[in-house]
Amino acid sequence: MTRTPQQDEPDDDPLVTQTRLRRDRRDRWLRSGDMSVGRRLAQIGVLGWIFVVPTLAGLFLGRWLDARFASGIFWSAPLMFLGVCLGGWTAWKWMNAE
């Protein structure tokens, strides 16, 4: 039985895209093997910095605004939470890109 062009699956189908991505990752892993301990530690370190830097930036900006306007922790808490969210989102995107 031959397939007609109408029966072919589109290239932008998410299932096809994810299957190809998984196959490519597996092929790359089979070619290069497991990562070294040093490379894994480096990835963990980068992931930590990706998460910590926005959190601390939000906290420092919030503390500065609180000191400037004498508002207690009115700015510190929400900006730190925003930094945690931004760091988590960035880390998640970075992990899925690797």
Q: Please, what sign has the CA dihedral across residues 18, 33, 98, 56?
A: positive
Please tell me the predicted confidence (pLDDT) of residue 9.
54
| Per-residue pLDDT tens digits for 46-80 | 999 999 999 999 999 999 999 999 998 999 999 99
Residue 23 token pair: 């196959």
Determine what percent of the chain is predicted with pLDDT higher than 90: 57
Q: How confident is the model at residue 39 (pLDDT cuts 50, 70, 90)?
A: confident
What's the number of CA atoms in the CB half-sphere (13 Å) around residue 51? Answer: 10
* Cα(93)–Cα(41) distance, integer angstroms: 19
Please tell me the predicted confidence (pLDDT) of residue 2.
57
